[in-house]
Structures are given as C-alpha cells and as structure tokens.
C-alpha cells in the first residue's frame, strides 16, 4: 500500500541550525528516484545539493524558494510504493564505504548524493508549499491531484505584485531561469497605467527611501559577519608589516613559467608566496596553532591546511588546501587554481571550509598595498599579500626601480608573541627577496 514519507531537513554539518532554500529541482506530481537531486540549499557554510532519500511521487513541498528552513522541520513529502511501510531511505555507509545492502547501492552523504543510473536533473521549478499530512503513513488515493506551479520570482517582487493585486502569471518573465524580475513587473505596471509603489521597509522606525536598497543578511554573509565579530573580540589581534623587494621572485616566476615542468600550469605570485609561507612555518610552527579554551592548551599542528580568502558572489569564503605542507610548487599552483575556480563557481563544499590552520588573503589583486586582516576563527595567523608595484628602492648601494610588495601579518597574541610573529615575517621576507632559498628548502 502506498505511504507518504516526510523528509525532514537534516543537519548539514557542524551544528548548523537552518538553511536557505535556493531552488527546487522538482515539483508536486514529479516522480523521483532514490538519490535524485531534489533541491539546492545554502547553509552558513556553502551551497549544498540535497538528494532524495526516497523513490516515489512528490506530494508536497514545505518551503518556498528564498525562505529559511530550520533543521528538523518538514521539507518534502514523497509517496512511496513500499508495501511493507518501511522507509526507502538512503543506506548508511560503513567503515569500508559499502552500503551493507543487497545490490550494493552506493551510500551518499547529505548534499552529495549520486543520482540513480539514467537519472537526469530536472529544470528548476517552483511550486506552492502544501500543508504536511496529518499522518505520514496515511494512504493516498491512487491518483494524486497536480497542484499548480507558481511563476518564479524573488520575495520582494512577489510582495510588490501583491501590493498592486497583480497575478505574476500575467507578467512576461525575462530572467535567466524564467523568473519574473523587478524590471518585468515595473514594465507590466506601467503598461496598465499603474505607477510602481515603493516597497515598505520592514523597519518601522525608518521612513521608506527610494534611494536605498536593503539586502537581507543570511547565508554565507551572515556566517562571515558573526565569525569576524567573534574573532575580533575574542582573539587579541596584533598586525605587523614589512616591505619586501620581490624583484628576484618575479624574475624566478618568469623563468618557471617558461620551464617545461610547469607547462599548462597557471603559476602566479600567490603560489610563490604560499610556498614561502609553508617553508617559513617549519622554523616558526607557533603560527600554525590554535587556542583550546576548554583545555587551556595551545594546539600546534604538524599539518597545514592553507586557507585562501576568496571573494565570491555569495560573500567572503575561506576554503583551504588540505595538507599543503606536502605539496611541491607545481602541485600547490594546481591546488590554488582549483580552489579559486570552485569558490567563484559557488561549488565550495562544507569540508573545504573546515579545519583551516592558517590563511592568506591576497588583497593585492584589488590594487591594495596593505591591510590589517581579521583572523579566521580558530587560527593563529593570517597573512595579507599586497599589490606588487615598481618603486624606487635602494639596491646594491644605488637607487633603482624594483618590484616591491607589503606583507601584513595579523596574529593572535595569546598564541604568538611579538618575537615569534616578527621572526616569521622576517623569514618570509628573506625567502621572497632570495627565492633560490625557496627552491633549496622545498
């Protein structure tokens, strides 16, 4: 006998309490297979694709795109044909990676399910949420009525349409995914002789202002803001600066780019700075540590998970390269390229953002010379790499135009004292001003 299974939004990792629903990949009435992607959600850490834990027919969607869903609340109802009434859920993985079920189904983790063979992703669609059934095991009629789908539109556009009594189905959409944009709605209102109204602010203490735009703080940006506040007011920050003549490093970079060993590899100044940092940590390991408040201990790591601050359309993210200390310069350059491309495409996963030990922020790509970066929470240090500029500089007793950059090191003064921070920064400067030592020590 068919039964209804209610899929509750799971904990997507690291104690997260909610997630924003970005898009539904299915609509009411659709048939889904086990592990088929049903939705994309954004947590405070990353964007995650949710696989279906059941095979069957979609009966109800419990959230609208753009809304925030609490962990443990109903997410989707699926009618299954499981006659025994038991769950057709995703199998649990075992220590050897096997499912433990007959047939050897591939186990999946939340957000990274593998669709069943032959399954293709449906076009993004949005449907009106429907109430949760009174009982998740109640039988349904053999034929479930199809509920109408709603036009795609952002919440502010829906609110404005509601103000004017407009059915968005009457508005011609021009958005990339077939959604009705603000411009589409304004053109429609103009065509029927109605002036678009200014959306009222939810803050009743402030008057509406057509010259202001309000952006909800949620997802990655919300997490980043909270993390930076905690870091700034928990770890006592100290920042030191050093100007470095990196002309020899830039010359070496030109030579390496012509070397056949680096053919097809995008070798950048950041790769050499990252390699210099990894070498400098060998004699200055305190910079690669963390503070254990509960145990009142300093934890010095023998591994380096190198974080790279990346500006993405979804906000600041700091994915990290695991065990970067084990990589040669070529492998490090490849890892940096993959990391930044993945971040810009919005495909960085929660695991890529976890367990960083030290971070580099490349402010030089924005033409900035120096800064006082805030520590990534849980780390002892962060290095800001400034722009490389041609400047007059003393060289061998004469003034010459040289390639100069500024390194800014912020560190947690509970973990790193002034001498340790200064020695680390001086080591970095020595390596970049004489990069042959970088090759010798790598």
Residues with catalytic annotation? 413
Structure tokens at 196: 């678009």
Sign of CA dihedral 96, 99, 100, 103: negative
Residue entry with tokens 């056949």: 260
* Beta strands 315-317 and 320-321, pairing class: unpaired
Cβ burial, residue 410 (10 Å; 0-12/13-18/19+): buried
Q: How far apart are CA 309 and CA 299, in angstroms?
A: 23
> CB under 8 Å to 73, separation ≥6 — which residues?
8, 9, 62
Q: Which H or E run includes 408?
A: strand 398-412
Q: How far apart are CA 14 and CA 292, in angstroms?
A: 17
Q: How far apart are CA 54 and CA 90, in angstroms?
A: 7
Sign of CA dihedral 27, 28, 34, 38: positive
Cα dist. 386→257, 311, 360, 370, 408 in Å?
A: 22, 16, 11, 5, 8
Q: Which H or E run includes 402?
A: strand 398-412
Residue entry with tokens 């009106």: 128
Name the packing angle between helices 182-191 and 155-164 (round to 10°): 20
With H, G, I as helix, E, B as strand and everything else as coil, classify residue 333.
helix
Structure tokens at 303: 């591994």
369 near 288, Cβ under 8 Å?
no
């Amino acid at each position: 006998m068919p039964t209804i299974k209610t899929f509750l939004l799971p904990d997507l990792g690291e104690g997260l309490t909610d997630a924003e629903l970005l898009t539904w990949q299915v609509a009411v009435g659709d048939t889904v297979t086990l592990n088929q992607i049903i939705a994309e959600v954004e947590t405070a850490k990353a964007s995650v694709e949710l696989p279906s834990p059941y095979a069957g027919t979609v009966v109800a969607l419990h959230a609208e795109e753009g809304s925030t869903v609490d962990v443990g609340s109903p997410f989707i109802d699926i009618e299954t044909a499981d006659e025994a009434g038991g769950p057709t859920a995703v199998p649990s993985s075992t220590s050897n990676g096997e499912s433990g079920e007959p047939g050897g189904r591939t186990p999946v983790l939340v957000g990274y399910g593998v669709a069943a063979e032959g399954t293709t992703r449906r076009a993004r669609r949005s449907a009106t949420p429907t109430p949760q059934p009174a009982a998740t095991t109640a039988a349904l009629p053999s034929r479930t009525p199809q509920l109408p789908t709603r036009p795609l539109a952002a919440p502010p556009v829906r609110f404005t349409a509601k103000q004017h009594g407009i059915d968005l189905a009457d508005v011609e959409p021009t958005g990339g995914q077939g959604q009705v944009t603000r411009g589409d709605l304004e053109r429609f209102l103009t065509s029927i002789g109605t002036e678009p109204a200014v959306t009222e602010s939810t803050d009743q203490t402030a008057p509406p202002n057509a010259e202001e735009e309000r952006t909800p703080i949620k997802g990655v940006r919300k997490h980043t803001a909270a993390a930076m506040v905690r870091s700034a007011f928990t770890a006592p920050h100290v920042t030191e600066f050093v100007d470095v003549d990196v002309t020899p490093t830039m010359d070496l970079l030109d030579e390496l780019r012509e070397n056949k060993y680096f053919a097809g590899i995008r070798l950048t100044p950041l790769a050499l700075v990252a390699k210099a940092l990894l070498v400098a940590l060998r004699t200055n390991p305190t910079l690669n540590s963390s503070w254990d408040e509960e145990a009142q201990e300093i934890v010095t790591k023998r591994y380096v998970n190198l974080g790279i601050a990346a500006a993405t359309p979804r906000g600041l993210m700091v994915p990290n390269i695991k065990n970067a200390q084990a990589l040669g310069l070529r492998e490090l350059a490849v890892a940096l390229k993959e990391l930044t491309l993945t971040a810009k495409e919005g495909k960085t996963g929660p695991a890529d953002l976890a367990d960083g030990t030290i971070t580099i922020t490349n402010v030089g790509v924005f033409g900035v010379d120096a800064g006082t970066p805030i520590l990534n929470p849980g780390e002892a240090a962060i290095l800001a790499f400034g722009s490389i500029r041609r400047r007059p500089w003393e060289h061998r007793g004469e003034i010459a135009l040289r390639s100069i950059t500024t390194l800014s090191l912020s560190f947690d003064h509970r973990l790193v004292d002034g001498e340790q921070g200064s020695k680390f920064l001086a080591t970095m400067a020595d390596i970049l001003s004489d990069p042959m030592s970088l090759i010798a020590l790598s």
